[in-house]
Structure 1
């Protein structure tokens, strides 16, 4: 069982930001990544649609023999992970915006959250915010349009820069000193965001924390890979495989999936 792959899914290429962290921390582990790009973005879908897509992705990875599943999508985590954990007999790792570290570290008592509508409107997001951000001003911003631009290969486009300027302006006007990225696509924006933000505004994403949690859960369940051979990395996409390949610098081969 321990040599079986870690399964990872997202509503497209964004979850590769999580895959990279997991692969760096656990280089011996076999991994299987599923990009449901055909249905991206999840953030503007209903809770029922998100749940059904998450079930379909989960069952694909389980049927491929995965020993653990990382839901590398904030929207899918907040809307579906409770159901997945109660209906499937393997461990699940979820993703949620890193509100806690931002709330603990802010000096201006004002933080920004850039996320999808599906994440910001979820019960889990509000529960986390109420728990950790009491007394902190939380400026929520729905990142409409960001995921489609990334999925279509327009990461560094003029359209993206204009969109980000529109979203950052009201946050900066409220004196944020932390920007929390609440979607796994968004870490790919960090080089652009760093140029656009003042030096006092720090960016936080969940990637490394998720990788550490994945390792901890594998260890607790005696599922860490024992092999020292070169791991097998399998990537699947039902969208443009070239975009997935390019975002991973063509280090791995992607299979197209009619899914």
Structure 2
């Protein structure tokens, strides 16, 4: 089926998920919606997160998306149950990768860097209880990091110092795995690697989400047919195009950027 996959996030962070999906599903067209004007979602009340998630979903449905990836941990943990019961289109969500971290840790101590909206959600706590029995999960809110990424300051000294402030106590507590619980945070991995020891596992959900997207498409017979022409990718944002463009690069794709 040649209808596009829809992806939405509270900004540019979900492009880390888009990259994995584009890599794993090169024949698929994609429409990406960056709600950067309302970023970050992680500091908003649940009712506001739900309202924004509904708005984003309906915009993507208007564009005939066959599947929607909620490329935002906070939106997933606070809104995906409602979205799945309200709309017929299949949804793929994202939550912090507690399970792989629990399987990898040798110190039995795992750090989770995420937004307040994710860490305070019932889905996050249920996931931790289910997969992290006997594991100490050390949570830290990454306050301010999304704002810095959204303003194009991924490599700034301010970002580095903020990361150092958040990660240092987790290292002192003995973590050997760090879970990135926000789709913006994979862009900070080069900075994080300057702070953590080389043997520490940094874990994000991008590849797993792409695999799940492929599995759902296959289960529901929605996979795009093979094609000779490049796949088409449209990126919508309600803030500066230049920042979104700087996060999106890829060969053999047709890319359009649109302000909505």
Give TM-score, length-normalised by structure 1. Answer: 0.97
Gap regions ≥5 residues in structure 2:
none
Match of 1:138 in 2: 137
CA displacement at 1:250 relative to structure 2: 8.1
Tell me, yes or no, if structure 1 residue 255 matches structure 2 residue 254: no
Match of 2:109 in 1: 110
Tell me, yes or no, if structure 1 residue 38 matches structure 2 residue 37: yes
Contact 1:77-1:96 at 8 Å conserved across structures: yes
Contact 1:71-1:95 at 8 Å conserved across structures: yes
Relative to structure 2, which stretch is displaced further, 246-255 or 221-230? 246-255
Match of 1:242 in 2: 242
Q: Distance in 1 between matches of 2:172 and 2:256?
A: 44
SS at match of 2:43: coil
SS at match of 2:89: coil
Q: Distance in 2 between matches of 1:204 and 1:250?
A: 23
Tell me, yes or no, if structure 1 residue 101 matches structure 2 residue 100: yes
SS at match of 2:139: strand
Segments of 4+ moved more than 3 angstroms: 249-253
Gap regions ≥5 residues in structure 1:
none
**Structural RMSD (CA):** 1.0
Q: Distance in 2 between matches of 1:163 and 1:113?
A: 15
Q: What is the CA deviation profile of residues 82-106 of structure 1, one whole-angstrom value per residue up to 9, with x for unaligned ones?
A: 0000000010000000000101110
Q: Distance in 2 between matches of 1:13 and 1:22?
A: 15
Match of 2:58 in 1: 59
Q: Distance in 2 between matches of 1:73 and 1:242?
A: 21
Q: What is the CA deviation profile of residues 147-180 of structure 1, one whole-angstrom value per residue up to 9, with x for unaligned ones?
A: 0000001111111011001001110011100000
Q: Distance in 2 between matches of 1:181 and 1:54?
A: 21
Q: Distance in 2 between matches of 1:21 and 1:233?
A: 14
Q: What is the CA deviation profile of residues 200-253 of structure 1, one whole-angstrom value per residue up to 9, with x for unaligned ones?
A: 211000000000000000000000001413211110000111000011148733
Contact 1:245-1:253 at 8 Å conserved across structures: no
1:115-126 matches, cutoff 5 A = 115-126=114-125
Q: Distance in 1 between matches of 2:107 and 2:33?
A: 39
SS at match of 1:253: strand
Match of 1:223 in 2: 222
Relative to structure 2, which stretch is displaced further, 82-91 or 228-237? 228-237
Contact 1:3-1:227 at 8 Å conserved across structures: no
Q: Distance in 1 between matches of 2:154 and 2:128?
A: 29
1:71-110 matches, cutoff 5 A = 71-110=70-109
Q: Distance in 1 between matches of 2:42 and 2:61?
A: 24
Q: Distance in 2 between matches of 1:224 and 1:44?
A: 36
Q: Distance in 2 between matches of 1:223 and 1:193?
A: 38
Tell me, yes or no, if structure 1 residue 175 matches structure 2 residue 174: yes
